[in-house]
Chain A
Amino acid sequence: MKLITAIIREYQLDQVREGLIQAGISRITVTRASGHGNQIRMEVYRGKEIAPNLTPKMRLDVAVNDEYVDIAIDAIIKAAKSHNGHDGEVGDGKIFVTPLEQCIRIRTEERGSSAI
C-alpha cells in the first residue's frame, strides 16, 4: 500500500479528478494548500501586479494498493501537466509517494489492502 500525495495547480483539479476516476480510482481526499516552489505567480489586482508569497495549490491524497501506484501516477501527470499533458511548465506541481503502514475502514474495522 502506498500513499500518493499530489500538489497540483488549483484549476487543474477537475481534470485530475476526472482522470483518476477514468483510471478507476475514485477514493481521494482534496484539500486547499499553499506553499513555495519554483513558480512565482503574478496576479493582477486593480491593474497592479503583485506576487503573493505563498502560491495557492490543491493537495490530493490517494491511498492505493501497489498495483495501482503507476496507474494513479500516470493519470495525475497526464491531467496536471500544462498544455494537456504535452509541455510542462514551472508550477505544474509535484507527486510524493510514501509507504502506507496501515489502512482501516472505520465502519467495518477491516484492515489492510481490502480497506482501501
Chain B
Amino acid sequence: MQALKLTILVTVFMKSIISISLLLFFSASSWAASLEPQIDTGATAWMLTSTALVLLMVPGLAMFYGGLVRSKNVLGTMMHSFAAMGIMTVLWVIVGYSMCFGDSVFGGWFGWNNDYLFLNGIDETIMEGGVPELVFSMFQGKFAIITPALIAGAFAERVKFKGYLIFIALWGIFVYNPLCHWVWSEDGFLFNMGANGAIDFAGGTVVHISAGVSGLVAAIYLGARRGYPLRQMRPNNLVMTMMGVGFLWVGWFGFNAGSSVSSGLSTAQALTATQVAGATGALAWALIELCHYGKATALGFASGILAGLVAVTPAAGVVQPLGAMALAVAASAVCYGALLLKNKLGYDDSLDAFGIHGVGGIVGAIMLTFFIRSSWMDNAAILAGGHWTVWDQFGVQMAAVGIAIVYAVVLTLALLWLVEKLFKFKSTDEEEMTGLDHAYHGERGYGMMNPN
C-alpha cells in the first residue's frame, strides 16, 4: 500500500516536471520566434524587382547622356555611367553599406559596423519589414551607383577616364556615404531632425541635390569644353536620348516606390505620385516651350519628364497626386528658367546635371512642405508633443537642403583639387579634340554616320 502510494506520488511529480519543462520549452521557442522576423514574400518580391528597376536607370542614363554628346564622345560618356556600376558596387560591398547604415561614428559624420564589411554579417539577417537585409543593401547600393553617374553630365566630353574613376570613388566615399547616413540611417541627424525628420523619401537631397550641386562645382572648376559657348555642340543621337529617358522613367518606379521598403499602401502612394509627376512635368515643359520658343522639342519633353520625376523623388511618400502635379509644374518652370540663366552666365554644365537634378531636387525638397498629406502632419504633431505646423517642417526642409548643398560643395571642391593635382582630371586640348572614345578607349561608337 505504502509502496503504491509512493509510486503514484512519484509519477505525478515526474509528470508535472515533464509538463512544466515542456511548457517552458515551447514558450521559450515561441518567444525566440517572435524576435526573429519572418520573411514577407510579397515585400521581398517587390524589393527584388525594385532593385533590378533602379539598376535599369543606369544604362538609361548612359543612353540619355550618350545621345546628347558629340559622336566622338559617345562611348566615353556611356562609360561614365557603366564604370559607376562597376566601381560603386565593389566599394558598396566593401565599405559603402557600413558607412551608410552602420552606427554613427566620429560624431555622426558617417556610420560604421564591422559586421557590414563585405556584407559578411548580414548573410542571414531579416529586417523588421520581413525583407532580407541583403536585398535592402543591394537596393541601396543602386542609389550609390546612379548618384556619381549623374554628376558626369556636368563635365561631359572633357575629363580623363582614369581621373573620373578616382574622382567618383572618392566622391562616393566622402560625399555620398555620409549624406546617405545623415538622411536615411536611423541614427542620422537629418533623419531625426524636427518632429519626424527631414523628408527625403527616395533621395532628393542625397541623390539629386548632392549630384547636381557637385556637378555645378565641377563644371565651373574644370572649365568649359574647347570652343564653348561659341561653337554649337549638337547632340549626336536624340533617338537614343529619348529611349534613355524612357528607361529612366520605368526605373524610377523602383527608385521611388521601392523606397518604402515594403509592398503596401505607401508603395502605392509613391508609385502614383511618380507617374503623375513625370507626366505633368513633361506636359508643363512642352507647354512652356511652345509659348516661349514656338516649338515643343523632344528633348524638352524628355527634360520635363526628368524635372518632374526629380522633384517628386523626395516627396513621393508624403504627397497626393495633386501635390505631385504642383511639384512637377514648379520644377519644370524653374528648371527651364535655370537653363536660360545658364546660357546667360556661360558656365558649361554640359548636359544640365545641375540645371535639372540640382534645381529640380531643391524645388522638390522645399516645396513638398506645402503638399504633405494630413495624416503625416498629424503623426508629426503627435511626435512633437501636440503641435507641428507646415512652417516648422519648412524650416527643417530648408536646413536639410542647405546642409546638403554646403557639404557637397566643400567636399567636392576639395576632391576636385586633389584629383586634378595628383592624377590630372581635365583632358588635354588634343584629347578633347580627338574625342574621349579614341583618346581613352581606343574605340569608335558608330559606323559611318554624322561627321561631327
Contact = CB atoms under 8 A, between A and B. Distances in A.
B435 interface: yes
Nearest to B449: A32
Interface residues of A, number: 16
Nearest to B432: A14
Nearest to B433: A14
B442 A44 contact: yes
Nearest to B72: A11
Given A32-B448, A32-B451, A56-B448, A43 B433 contact: no
Given A30-B451, A58-B451, A11 B433 contact: yes
A39 interface: no
Contacts of A84: 430
Interface residues of B, number: 15
A43 B442 contact: yes
Interface string A5-44: 0000011111100000000000000111010000000011
B448 A34 contact: yes
A19 to B, nearest CB: 11
A30 B451 CA distance: 7
Contacts of B438: 10-11
B444 interface: yes
A11 B434 contact: yes
A84 B451 CA distance: 22
B420 interface: no
Contacts of B442: 43-44
A12 B439 CA distance: 12
Nearest to A13: B451
B245 to A, nearest CB: 28
A66 to B, nearest CB: 28
A10 B439 CA distance: 12
Contacts of A12: 433-434
Contact of A31 (B226, B434, B435, B451): B451
B435 A11 contact: yes
A56 B444 contact: yes
Interface in B222-270: 226
Contacts of B434: 11-12
A56 B445 CA distance: 12
A14 B438 CA distance: 14
- Which residue, A14, A30, A34, A45, has most C-beta atoms of chain B within 10 A? A14
B443 A45 contact: yes
A13 B434 CA distance: 8
Given A11-B435, A11-B438, A15-B433, A43 B448 contact: no
Nearest to B431: A11
Contacts of B435: 11
Interface string B413-452: 0000000000000000010011100110011100011110
A47 B434 CA distance: 22
A99 B438 CA distance: 35
Contacts of A13: 451
- 10 closest Cβ contacts across the A-B interface? A14-B433, A11-B434, A30-B451, A32-B448, A11-B438, A32-B451, A44-B442, A15-B433, A11-B435, A58-B451
Given A32-B449, A34-B448, 8 more contacts: A11-B434, A11-B435, A11-B438, A11-B439, A14-B226, A15-B433, A44-B442, A56-B448
19 contacts: A10-B72, A10-B444, A11-B72, A11-B434, A11-B438, A11-B439, A12-B433, A12-B434, A14-B433, A15-B433, A32-B450, A32-B451, A34-B448, A43-B444, A44-B442, A44-B443, A56-B448, A58-B451, A84-B430
